[in-house]
Chains A and B, each alone.
Chain A
Amino acid sequence: MKDITHALHAELLKTKRTLAFWLTLIAPAVVISLQVAMMWDQYSYHLEQSKLFGSAWVFYTQQTLVIWSLLMLPLFVTLETALVAQWEHHSHQWKHLFALPVSRGALYAAKYLCGVAFIGLSCAVLIALILLSGLGFRWVFPGLGFEVAPPLGEMALYGLLMFLGSWLVIAIQTWVAQRWSNFAVACSVGIALTVASVIVIQSKYAGFYPYTLPALVANGFSENIGALNFFAEGVLPVKELLFGSIGGLIAAVIGGWHFVRRDVL
């Protein structure tokens, strides 16, 4: 346990001046910029849907999360875990790390948790930017419905659930990226499985497919395919949430168990 704390402390230093760190800020900013730019085009559609949802804030949040959680998030996980792994592969760190008097499991766990922290940070940044841009809409689009107080608790909850639902994807991509030193392998796997999720999410197997879980958990497609805002119906996708989060921790343990037993060549 002490080894994990030490390993995390070391990871923290490593993120200094890295692209992986800056991407956690840049990626959500790109999505929000797109959303803001689209608002001019979709003004009347927004007005209509906000009425349906009963809140401009809730609709705007949900719409942003659909884009983020279904496509951007799994791709972002792919990229972040691959970048984190490249630090190790590129500088041949594993032969150094595994020759240290430190639990190998702790070293692997730190890599996984580093990925989890990056994704958590990006989700938090996304929610914060939704809030900021929404507040901006008050001035740019008066009458769209952003004048009311934002439902902060609900927004934070969406972000948190989506984050929890992504732990399994992070575990899978961390293992792939650490197992194969080639950057292209991790990227191809992540991209292919994410693209497939766009199709899978429309099927009844959506809840069993790791790469759709963040979207399912954040948007509640599971109970009622195509219907946004399950919170309005008061349904929490517990199965998907557990599969994505606890399942992720279990997958990380299995991945680590396999990884520390490999020959370090």
Chain B
Amino acid sequence: MAAQLIQTVNLTRRFGDVLAVNGLELAVPQGSIYAFLGPNGAGKTTTIRMLLGLIRPTEGDVHLFGQSLRGNRKNILRKVGALVEGPSLYPHLTGRENLELTRRLIDATTAQRDRALHIVKLVDAADRPARTYSTGMKQRLGLALALLVDPELLILDEPTNGLDPAGIHEMRDLICGLPAQGITVFLSSHLLSEVEQVATHIGIIQQGQLRFQGTLDELHAQMDTQLTLEVDQPQRAKSVLAAAGWQVKSNGGHRLVVDANNLSDASMINAQLTQSGINVYHINLEQPTLEDMFLSLTA
């Protein structure tokens, strides 16, 4: 088994009757940007809180860097930066002072503090009270807090939540640059569109259960392409194709939808129909988008 930075075993958490996280088996490889996707209430934040030891699993275990979180909390957290559900900022302190607080707690250097400010582009605003910051700036300061420990693993819970498009873009750029610095990123989102450009790996969670886990290519490979046809004799066409072994769906109109993989399937289908004397008006091979896939997995 390849070295996984995050590995959970049967990770489960109940809140009373609610099974918030159910038998999760996460495997996050080193050096990846792992997007943890799921609709609101799917169990993303609950999972992240368990990864950080903020709440205890009802069942199962968390292993970070190959070590169990139980009993190695401090050693592990030395290498982990986190931003959970919005930044933890003292509004009456300046950006730099907010970082200084955490710096004192973890005994980092002032150079590390100023480097974190630099990475998130807050040097100019560093000496203003955090209460005067925009949502995007607050979120970036939260990211700076997470970067202060010089993490090998960064865990971000919905880092783009509440940001405007420019803020989302900026955050995305920041995150993209992290693996080059040797940082593995685990980030959650309820929107695929926000992470599909940055993620190397994807985990999809719904109602506490993992529906998919793998690379983006693996997700693409799982997706069935479809051939849409418009023909003059839909009923006959349907039986001809079914007899040839294709999966055909029809809505009763002139349109047929056939499960097909590629263009050669498409031309083969076209040939079979014309040989049977059926006119084909329209033929189109459709690749469902990741969004379609995500929606069908989490519907």
| Chain A positions near chain B (C-beta within 8 angstroms) | 2-3, 6-7, 9-10, 13-14, 16-18, 87, 91-93, 95-103, 107, 263-265
Q: Mark B72-96, 1 if CB is under 8 A from A, else 0.
A: 0111111010101110111111000
Q: Which residue of B lies closest to A19 (CB)?
A: B92
Residue B149 is within 8 A (CB to CB) of chain A in the complex: yes
Residue B56 is within 8 A (CB to CB) of chain A in the complex: yes
Residue B282 is within 8 A (CB to CB) of chain A in the complex: no
Q: How far is the CB of A105 from chain B (nearest CB, A)?
A: 12
Residue pair A264, B55 in contact (C-beta under 8 Å): yes
Residue pair B106, A13 in contact (C-beta under 8 Å): no
Residue pair A98, B105 in contact (C-beta under 8 Å): no
Q: Which residue of B lies closest to A262 (CB)?
A: B55
Query: A6 contacts which chain B residues (CB < 8 A)?
Result: 104-107
CA A133 – CA B58 in complex, angstroms?
A: 61
Q: List 22 A-B contacts (CB under 8 A).
A: A3-B105, A13-B101, A13-B104, A17-B92, A17-B93, A91-B88, A91-B91, A92-B88, A95-B49, A95-B85, A95-B88, A96-B84, A98-B53, A99-B52, A99-B53, A100-B77, A100-B149, A101-B73, A102-B105, A107-B105, A263-B54, A263-B56
Query: A17 contacts which chain B residues (CB < 8 A)?
Result: 92-93
Query: B105 contacts which chain A residues (CB < 8 A)?
Result: 3, 6-7, 10, 97, 100, 102, 107
Q: How far is the CB of B288 from chain A (nearest CB, A)?
A: 38
What count of chain B residues pass the 8 Å CB interface test?
Answer: 33
Contact of B101 among A10, A92, A95 (CB under 8 A): A10
Residue pair A10, B104 in contact (C-beta under 8 Å): yes
Query: A98 contacts which chain B residues (CB < 8 A)?
Result: 52-54
Q: When A and B form their complex, what is the total count of cross-chain residue pairs whose Cβ atoms lie within 8 Å?
A: 85
Residue B260 is within 8 A (CB to CB) of chain A in the complex: no
Contact of B93 among A3, A16, A101, A263 (CB under 8 A): A16
Given contacts A95-B88, A96-B145, contact A13 B93 (CB under 8 A): yes
Q: How far is the CB of B184 from chain A (nearest CB, A)?
A: 16
Complex interface residues of chain B between 263 and 299 (CB less than 8 A to chain A): none
CA A100 – CA B82 in complex, angstroms?
A: 9
Complex interface residues of chain B between 94 and 117 (CB less than 8 A to chain A): 97, 100-102, 104-107
Query: B107 contacts which chain A residues (CB < 8 A)?
Result: 2, 6
CA A14 – CA B97 in complex, angstroms?
A: 8
Residue pair A16, B97 in contact (C-beta under 8 Å): yes
Contact of B54 among A95, A101, A107 (CB under 8 A): A95
CA A161 – CA B86 in complex, angstroms?
A: 44
Residue pair A103, B74 in contact (C-beta under 8 Å): yes
Q: How far is the CB of A247 from chain B (nearest CB, A)?
A: 29
Complex interface residues of chain B between 46 and 81 (CB less than 8 A to chain A): 49, 52-56, 73-78, 80
Given contacts A10-B104, A265-B55, contact A101 B149 (CB under 8 A): yes
Q: How far is the CB of B154 from chain A (nearest CB, A)?
A: 12
CA A50 – CA B104 in complex, angstroms?
A: 51
Query: B74 contacts which chain A residues (CB < 8 A)?
Result: 101-103
